[in-house]
Structure 1
Amino acid sequence: MESYYISRSSPSDDQLQASETELGELDVDIDSLRADLASLPTPPLTGWFLLSNVKQNAVDIVRHGWAFEEFERVFVTRGPNWARYGALNRSWGYNLHAWRFMQPLLKEHSASGTSDWLAAALSPALDWIDTYITARPPEDPMAWYDMSLAMRTPMLLNLLIRVARNDAHSECLPVLTRAMILHLDVLNSEESFNVNSNHGFYVAIAQVHVSRLVPFFPGARTAGEAGLIRLRRIVDKQFSVDGIHLEHSPDYHRMLLGSFEAAIDDGLVDDPEILRRISRAANALGWMIKPDGHLVQFGDSPSTRMTIRGAHSSDPNTQFIISSGQSGQPTSEQSVTYPAGGYFFVRSPPPQVAGDVPKSSYLAFSAAFHSRTHKHADDLNLVWSDLGCEILVDSGRFGYGQLLPADSPLRKSGFYYSSRERQYVESTVAHNTLSIDNLDQQRWRRKPFGSGIVDTKEHLGVFEAIGRVVYGDYVHRRRVVFRPGKQLVLRDAVYSKKSGPRIGRLWFNISDSFCVVEEASSLVFVNSAFPRPIRLDVSGPGDLISPVRGQQEPMRGWRSRTDRCLEPIWSFGFEFMFTTRRSVETTFTLSLV
């Protein structure tokens, strides 16, 4: 690798002196530590810390800069302004400070065996350390952000072991050792560990990772013991007893489950209760996959494709779904209820052979509020696919972006991000559920209720589910009656706790594969993308709120399958008046034209 692409590959005199002084005060024998580290095999570059594949190769990163989504490239090996990127976009800053660029550089070092590629990896590491492990680091909320810290730790450890085995860069060892000791100290702090967020898992498993790979490293054993205790707390807080991730998002369920499974495969987790809970979560993931192979977009979920070549699950039923029936075992179950997690799923008929998955009718019903993490204003929301196409769809995630000011009044409505597109996908109108008095369902002032599933049943091919949610001044109860391939009926009952007239609005979002063909005496959609067009007749209570598609003011009729991208869909509703109580019915009927 040409040297002019790399700003540095050795520590500054000040860096080296400060590191050696501190290690001396900690009584760390650097020569003994070097010998112990050098005796280890090179750690793997994949595992629990690789949440998605890094598609960029090392040559491209060094020559043209590290690429993240649609943002400008960052020349990480040439001394970038590290603090700039997180200030512009939190996701950009997090991925940069997690050293997402490091894996391809170290992978190239493994493949080539040359010191040049180790120098390329050392350049951003030393520059980052010189920037943030100093008396006056820049203000940067993403540098020691819990996820950045957790994901950076295995990359730093991998680099440390490589340097110990390479005499050409031995002077870097004290600087990297000092940085690793500080990383363990910060990981051990209570400020870095949030048991109520999936982030807590990554902090805890990073501690265990270091202790298993280098148990002799200063502070590693203590960190590992604390990490194991934290993991037990995390699995109890993050997954319900029936295996549902408690952050209202199938994609975060997928992500955390995959990390747990990778940690189990890496030999880092062997606690029996954790293994049981993760086994249930692996089975639940299969039910979250729609007939088109994508995850249901409840909560903060992009449209993640699950049926990809090489996809693997530890659960045989889920493996059957994600492999499109090529491996694993089919289930005979047509529906499943998660009374603790707050979900109900139907897949009918259950696929039995390769090619069957896209043919099933599918319904997903959500009645859950376990915390405010990733929670949209979407109680009693549902998603429906049938006859080979999506029908009722969810708004998705859109991405995070910049935070609202702490004193913003929108915070009291449950919003945390400033983007109007983000606020839209969180709002009630962007989901298939009920709003009262034109307000979003309350999240901020309401105590999480857990699961709102009341009852579910199946009889002669008809599936029913009941969910009930209590708000500050009203109660909403929804009965779902589903006849696969034929009809979906929603019976919504609302009870007001205050006097006076109130307005109920039922909102629905229809896939853009349909077109509106009639909205006078009845509302009719047709999907003509199939050999035989599919007709959807809709009848509901009160007054029809006319369908719109991709409306800007006010925003209505959008979905986000990938972050920061909106696509138009059909949005419509029914408005009705009530005082104390009102029960209404909405019917969706399918037929082939």
Structure 2
Amino acid sequence: MEMKEVIEISELAIVNAIYDGFKIDVEIFVDSKDVECACYLYSKNTVISKSGYKNDRKHTFNVEENQNDYLKVKVFFKNKNDNTIKKSKIFPLSIRRNLRYKLSQNSLNSVNTINCEIIAAKPAAIEKYEKKGFQPRNDNTPYKLILPIDWLEDPFNDRNWMFQLHAWRMLDGYLNRSNRQDLYYVSQIINDWVSFEKDNKSKWLWYDMSTGLRALKISFYLKKCYDKGINHRIEDLDYLLHEHFRHLSNLAELNSGNHGLFQLHGLKSLTYVINDYGNGAYSMSDMKNYANDRMSKLITSQLGSHGVHTEDSPDYHFFTHKKITNIIQSPWWSDLNEKILKILELGENAKPWLVFPNKKCVPIGDSAVGSVRNDLVALDKWSHVKSGDYIGAQVDGYAIVRSLESVPLNNSSFLFFQGSFHSQAHKHCDDLSFILQENGIDLLIDSGKYGYQQDKYRKYFLSTHAHNTIEVDGKSTTRSEKYAYGSAIFAPPKCIDDVWVIEGKVEHVVNDYIHERTILYKPGLDLYVIDVITNKKLSMPRKIDQWWHFETDAKVTIEENKVVVNTSTHNHMEIASESSSKAVDYHLYKGYDSGNRLIGWVSKKYLQYEPTSALKISTSVRKRSIVLTRFKLSKIVLEEPVVSLLGKEIKVNSSYPNLSHFFSDKLY
């Protein structure tokens, strides 16, 4: 590139420089990949800061209050090939003044630890932290934090640990106790973080949920200083508040999932404890309106029109519903739209359908089983169908058939069918999978959550072949929200001739096939899975694998034309399958690891895994195939099968006339 070309590029360049009172963001638009740009910041014709040559052409400067007179920037262009340099013209910047925020003393009186998501902690937690180090989770190794802290050091390569660090979780114990020495330490941590943030850039410094939780801690810290009658010791509170206002009120940074709840909660808490200051950098009134508007939309998007959490993971329904309920009880949300309360009531009524008969959460998606939930409303508060000792319901994208609450656990039955896809956030590739319990014992299990560590195990536990569903050509289905279908459940479960019927359908556009699954269930006795696979890639036959997963203590054996499962609690199950395309093959795996592919693992605790039995039933499809799999759930001698596969048709036993009529409209 010649000098003339560099001059022309510098003259044609667009320089966008924005000063909001604390930070200057300079963005340079140049139509050439061979040019690097540097930027100088001037105050009263004196260079006060420099940003060197780089390719991304974005430069940020922090400005102290005594430096904000007559600011301007100068941009330099350099040819990467021969280092030819051409100066740009000067770009003056406008100044905003009087940025001091004032506290609202009346509001500070009603702020408390619950409002501000401060985890309850006894003084012993402080002693443990000071002696051993920062340990946000029980499974973490304690890590000593010594001032000045390197806030971008990730000693365990653990995303959750980094999130907790930048949420200032180490301060919870000190804020709970809040003596003068505690508040001094809190200010030391805050000042150290601010100092580090001014000199560094990273997604972790302004990670969505961490930022919201930090804002809540700032509000609570200011409240405790007010209670004690002492001045806060944050060295640059204006900057700290301004930057949290800036990030938390930026719609482009608002997380559309449950993390967004904490971003808006933190923002609204700051608008509550800070007085509206007319000529400040931000209007408290505008930010209150923004927070209310976005919170109403976010709660609706989180819980949907049915009141069921839309991230396809029951555990997160409990987490999010509880958090939303706690959040809106905070004094700064008293002006929220009342329609939200009706959605929350629906969400409360959905909860008892998302647990096993032992009241532990079903492990679908990124759900952990967790502890017993005793604060549940009655099942019949949700729209349902009842037959004898059993009850069924559709809960948005889930279908459940189970025993009544009055049935003892050791006589109970429970089937949970997964047909929910609204979001990628906590969904697995588990379309039309289901889990089954009989007598309180797991017979067909979900492989579990594992955790958010980006490794081969996370990849496995997300995969299709880690769930009780169909896999085509050895490839998982997509989790991209572009292909989210909401609910794949046709209608609520129905009981016909004492047989429960559940139906679901998903068109896998990316994988070029349609999967229709019908479940026929006689609790405690018999279960049939009818899988219809329609191939949209007609140029070639395709491999179908039907996957089933069992508890770790189950003894699984392949016998002639069937698979036998016996649990340590003497539950017995026999599995037999047939296909309209060709004979099926049975393959058993347990703790298989070829390096590129894992099969037969379960995760019962965070980031832990252990071998378990997995059954693969293989066949093929050219145009359309039916796979019928029967699960005999009891050693009791059963009558003739409810349904059978004759050629390419499903035939219903004549003993079930209403069910036969129901199937007469099907294209099986």
Aligned residues of 2:409 and 2:439 also touching (Cα < 8 A) = no
1:75 alignment counterpart: 144
Residue identity opposite 2:192 in structure 1: D
Q: If each structure's helix is expressed as a fraction of its own residues, which one has the higher value?
A: 1
* Cα distance in 2 between the residues matched to 1:319 and 1:224: 39
3-state DSSP of counterpart to 1:95: helix
Give 1:568 deviation, angstroms: 2.0
Give 1:477 deviation, angstroms: 0.3
* Cα distance in 1 between the residues matched to 2:514 and 2:634: 34
Query: Is residue 351 of structure 1 aligned with residue 351 of structure 2?
Result: no
Change (3 A) 1:54 1:319: farther
1:551 alignment counterpart: 592
> 1:560-582 CA distances to partner (integer Å, 9 max, x unpaired)?
12221002221002111221111
Q: 1:295 aligns with which of 354, 361, 365?
A: 361
Aligned residues of 2:349 and 2:381 also touching (Cα < 8 A) = no
> 1:454-491 CA distances to partner (integer Å, 9 max, x unpaired)?
13312354321110111232111000111111122100
1:411 alignment counterpart: none
Give 1:180 deviation, angstroms: 2.1
TM-score, scaled relative to structure 2:
0.73
Query: Is residue 579 of structure 1 aligned with residue 622 of structure 2?
Result: yes
* Cα distance in 1 between the residues matched to 2:564 and 2:518: 23
Change (3 A) 1:257 1:575: same
Change (3 A) 1:122 1:75: farther
1:85 alignment counterpart: 154
> 1:235-271 CA distances to partner (integer Å, 9 max, x unpaired)?
2322221122111111221221111111233342642
Aligned residues of 1:522 and 1:538 also touching (Cα < 8 A) = yes
Q: 2:416 aligns with which of 355, 364, 370?
A: 364
* Cα distance in 1 between the residues matched to 2:140 and 2:366: 21
Residue identity opposite 1:489 in structure 2: Y
Change (3 A) 1:291 1:171: closer
* Cα distance in 2 between the residues matched to 1:206 and 1:460: 54
* Cα distance in 2 between the residues matched to 1:556 and 1:264: 44
> 1:510-564 CA distances to partner (integer Å, 9 max, x unpaired)?
11132125534421111133xxx11111111243332222222231111112221
Residue identity opposite 1:237 in structure 2: S
Aligned residues of 2:276 and 2:285 also touching (Cα < 8 A) = yes
Residue identity opposite 2:418 in structure 1: S
3-state DSSP of counterpart to 2:593: coil
1:237 alignment counterpart: 301
Query: Is residue 277 of structure 1 aligned with residue 343 of structure 2?
Result: yes
2:6 alignment counterpart: none
Within-5 A mapping of 1:142-291 = 142-166=204-228, 170=231, 172-173=233-234, 175-195=236-256, 197-214=257-274, 216=276, 219-267=283-331, 268=333, 270-291=336-357
Q: 2:168 aligns with which of 89, 99, 119?
A: 99
> 1:398-438 CA distances to partner (integer Å, 9 max, x unpaired)?
1112xxxxxxxxxxxxxxx3x00000001111000001122
Residue identity opposite 2:193 in structure 1: W
1:510 alignment counterpart: 550
Change (3 A) 1:19 1:460: farther
Aligned residues of 2:505 and 2:514 also touching (Cα < 8 A) = yes
Give 1:382 deviation, angstroms: 0.5
Aligned residues of 1:342 and 1:368 also touching (Cα < 8 A) = yes
- Considering only CA atoms, is the larger Rg found in Structure 1 or Structure 2? 2
Residue identity opposite 1:511 in structure 2: E
Within-5 A mapping of 1:565-576 = 565-576=608-619
> 1:303-353 CA distances to partner (integer Å, 9 max, x unpaired)?
32243xxx545xx227999xxxxxxxxx99811113xx31101221x1138
Query: Is residue 453 of structure 1 aligned with residue 489 of structure 2?
Result: yes
Aligned residues of 2:115 and 2:326 also touching (Cα < 8 A) = yes
Within-5 A mapping of 1:53-64 = 57-64=125-132
Aligned residues of 2:424 and 2:481 also touching (Cα < 8 A) = no
Change (3 A) 1:125 1:29: closer
Listed as ranges, the gaps of 5+ residues in structure 2 are 1-62, 69-94, 383-387, 637-668
* Cα distance in 1 between the residues matched to 2:174 and 2:603: 33
Aligned residues of 1:215 and 1:221 also touching (Cα < 8 A) = no
3-state DSSP of counterpart to 2:430: coil
* Cα distance in 2 between the residues matched to 1:578 and 1:448: 25
3-state DSSP of counterpart to 1:254: helix
* Cα distance in 1 between the residues matched to 2:562 and 2:371: 35
Aligned residues of 2:107 and 2:272 also touching (Cα < 8 A) = no
Query: Is residue 118 of structure 1 aligned with residue 183 of structure 2?
Result: yes
* Cα distance in 1 between the residues matched to 2:490 and 2:166: 44
Aligned residues of 2:417 and 2:433 also touching (Cα < 8 A) = yes
Which of the pair has the greater relative contact order for Cα pairs under 8 Å at 6+ separation?
1
Q: 2:521 aligns with which of 451, 461, 482?
A: 482
1:434 alignment counterpart: 470
* Cα distance in 2 between the residues matched to 1:20 and 1:159: 27
* Cα distance in 1 between the residues matched to 2:361 and 2:116: 21
* Cα distance in 2 between the residues matched to 1:557 and 1:186: 44
* Cα distance in 2 between the residues matched to 1:140 and 1:332: 56
Listed as ranges, the gaps of 5+ residues in structure 1 are 1-16, 322-330, 402-416
Q: If each structure's strand is expressed as a fraction of its own residues, which one has the higher value?
A: 2
Residue identity opposite 2:149 in structure 1: P
1:13 alignment counterpart: none
1:14 alignment counterpart: none
Point out the more displaced range, 495-504 or 510-519. Answer: 510-519
* Cα distance in 2 between the residues matched to 1:585 and 1:116: 69
2:192 alignment counterpart: 127
Identical residues among aligned pairs (%): 23
Aligned residues of 2:121 and 2:176 also touching (Cα < 8 A) = no
Change (3 A) 1:358 1:287: farther
* Cα distance in 1 between the residues matched to 2:381 and 2:592: 40
